[in-house]
Structure 1
Amino acid sequence: MGLLHWEKRYSVGIAAVDHEHRELIELINRLYDEATSRGSKDAVLDFFGDLFKAISAHFALEERFMRERGYNQLIQHKNDHERLLDEIRDIMEDFEAGAGVNEQLLAQRLDAWFSRHFETHDARLHKALGAHPE
């Protein structure tokens, strides 16, 4: 079924960026499926690591784009990226500590994660500067 589903409110209006965001949602859904299917703890932690790397790479690309274009909201946007990465780390650490996956809490945290960031920071960035190169 999947944890997150693409919603129109996530769109920043730029096809390439929206595509990247859809790919991140797919990765999160695959992680969720793995974590809730009684897969091995090591496999789930490996998947968390892969997801974290993919999100970090996406953020690094955005931040480079913002620096190159002289985006005046770079610090605020980068700070939100750090907050989002901290949130993913917290979820990973909770899982590793044996808390398992609280499906409802994970859904709430990740939905808030996407909706707040996509609707505010990413929408403002891409409205001001357009698409970043892939």
Structure 2
Amino acid sequence: MGLLKWENRYSVGIEAVDHEHRELVGLINRLHDTAMAHGSKVSVLGFFGDLYKAISSHFALEERFMRERGYDQLVQHKNDHERLLDEIRDIMEDYEVTDHFDDRRLAQRLDAWFSRHFESHDARLHNALGYH
């Protein structure tokens, strides 16, 4: 079933970027499905690791692009990236310690990220500078 559904409001209007974002939604949904099906702790933590790496990689590329282009909102955008990565790490560590997958917490945080970060930071970045 999945945790998140791609919505047009998440689109930044650049197909390659939207494609990457849809791939992240797909990875989030596979993590959710595995955890909700009571997959092994190892497989759930593996999905968390894959998600964290994919998001970190996406952010690193965006940040490099912003630095190269002298983007005026780099600090604010990077701070939002760090906040999200901290939240994902917190959820992953909570799961590792408790074996409880808090799908509500993950859904709330990720939906807030998609709706706020994509619509504001990413849309502004890609409208100002184009795709990297």
**Category of TM-score, reference length = shorter chain:** over 0.9
1:88-127 matches, within 5 Å, as 88-98=88-98, 100-127=100-127
Runs of 4+ in structure 1 deviating by more than 2 angstroms, as ranges, are 102-106
In 1: Cα distance, 2:51 partner to 2:38 partner: 19
Q: Deviations over 1:19-51 (max 9, x none)?
A: 000000000000001111111111111111111
Q: Deviations over 1:29-77 (max 9, x none)?
A: 0000111111111111111111100100000000011011110101110
Q: TM-score, normalised by structure 1?
A: 0.94
Runs of 5+ in structure 1 lacking a partner?
Answer: none
1:69 aligns with 2:69: yes
In 2: Cα distance, 1:47 partner to 1:21 partner: 17
SS in 1 for 2:57: helix
The alignment yields a C-alpha RMSD, in angstroms, of 1.0
Q: Deviations over 1:67-125 (max 9, x none)?
A: 11110101110011000100110110111111512332322121112111101110110
Amino acid at match of 1:82: E
1:86 aligns with 2:74: no
In 2: Cα distance, 1:63 partner to 1:27 partner: 21
Q: TM-score, normalised by structure 2?
A: 0.96
In percent, how many aligned pairs have the same letter?
A: 77
1:18 aligns with 2:18: yes
In 1: Cα distance, 2:2 partner to 2:111 partner: 12
SS in 2 for 1:63: helix
Corresponding residue for 2:130? 130
In 2: Cα distance, 1:82 partner to 1:108 partner: 17
Out of 91-100 and 24-33, give the one that drifted further.
91-100
